């Protein structure tokens, strides 16, 4: 069974632009979570989606948003990019909402210049 | 809110030896899940082992085992017969119980970088 896939793997943007990252969960998994990883803040939870609904949201500004489609694929969007948004964005999928184990994708590395 | 602490930023071990990585956590919940994830240079986060708090028996997965001390809120990872491929960043993570609706996110520690010496 294929793992979690994320596209693109690498991205370079400039301040003020917006970006959309995509995540396809493991087949049959219906819950998708997003995390931001930076050297300074470590791994921080962004949000979780299940059945196209956001179930949980971390402490990030409104510039960070996401959505989930009927096939469980998820996208996250960051508008008005700031230098501090440079990070590795990790997507994780789990079988159901609240399932105890999350499986991670390879991540998207975003660099904001 | 739950917190996870990994007090060892870096560890090293000789190949074929045993190493233990430490993790402590703080929570007021009685039921929860604990995980160790491994992040090699590829940055892919890989699940190493999982422990349910309601289980007294320590989890094991081949060369990996945990020492789960619920009262002490301690969750250490033991790697036996260390191999070069074990070199990675190791993260301890906490997840609230399924009954804590809408709050089942993973809370991570800051990580321990493990180096394997040939």
DSSP A1-64: ----EEE-SEEEE-TT--EEEEEEPPTT--EEEEEEEETTTEEEEEEEEETTEEEEE-S--TTE
Q: How many CB atoms lie within 10 A of CB A13?
A: 16
Structure tokens at B42: 């590829």
**Mean pLDDT on A15-43:** 95
In chain B, positions 49-68, which contact chain A (CB-CB < 8 Å)? 50, 52
pLDDT at B100: 64
Contact B84, B74 (CB under 8 A): no
CA distance A41 to chain B (A): 9
Residue A89's DSSP bridge partners are A36, A108
On the CB side of A17, how many CA atoms lie within 13 Å of its CA?
13
Q: What is the pLDDT of residues B26-48, one digit of tens each?
A: 999 888 999 999 999 988 999 99
- Running along chain B, 118 residues long, what does each successive block of 10 average in pLDDT? 93 98 94 94 93 92 97 97 97 84 83 97
Cβ neighbours for A40, distance < 8 A, ≥ 6 positions apart:
none
User: Cβ of A66 under 8 Å from any chain B Cβ?
Assistant: no
Closest residue in chain B to residue A53, using alpha carbons only = B102
Maximal CA-CA distance, chain A? 39
End-to-end CA distance of chain A: 37
Which residues in chain B are closer than 8 Å to A104, comparing Cβ atoms? 37, 44-47
Contact A27, A1 (CB under 8 A): yes
Q: Residue B21: enclosing H or E segment and its boundaries?
A: strand B19-21
Of A47-56, A83-92, A98-107, B50-59, the least confident: A98-107
A-chain CB neighbours of B107 within 8 Å are 45
Pairing of strands B64-69, B74-79: antiparallel
For residue B95, give the nearest of A43, A100, A105 by CB distance. Answer: A100
Lowest mean pLDDT segment, chosen from A22-26, A42-46, B94-98: B94-98
CA distance A105 to chain B (A): 6
């Amino acid at each position: 069974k294929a793992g979690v896939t994320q596209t693109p793997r690498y991205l370079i943007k400039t301040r003020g632009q917006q970006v959309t990252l995509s995540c396809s969960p493991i087949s049959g998994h219906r819950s998708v979570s997003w995390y931001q990883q930076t050297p300074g803040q470590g791994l921080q939870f962004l949000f979780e989606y299940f059945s196209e609904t956001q179930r949980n949201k971390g402490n990030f500004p409104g510039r960070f948003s996401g959505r989930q489609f009927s096939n469980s694929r998820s996208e996250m969007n960051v508008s008005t990019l700031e230098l501090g948004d440079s990070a590795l964005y990790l997507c994780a999928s789990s079988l159901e909402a609240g399932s105890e184990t999350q499986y991670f994708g390879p991540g998207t590395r975003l660099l904001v210049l | 809110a739950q917190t996870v602490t990994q007090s060892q930023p870096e560890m090293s071990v000789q190949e074929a030896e045993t190493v233990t990585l430490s993790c402590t956590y703080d929570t007021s919940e009685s039921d929860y899940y604990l995980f160790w994830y491994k992040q090699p240079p590829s940055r892919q986060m890989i699940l190493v082992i999982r422990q349910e708090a309601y289980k007294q028996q320590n989890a094991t997965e081949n060369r990996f085992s945990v020492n789960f001390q619920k009262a002490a809120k301690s969750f250490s990872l033991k790697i036996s017969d260390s191999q070069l491929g074990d070199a990675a960043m190791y993260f301890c993570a906490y997840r609230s119980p399924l009954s804590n609706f809408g709050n089942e996110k993973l809370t991570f520690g800051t990580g321990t970088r493990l180096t394997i010496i040939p």
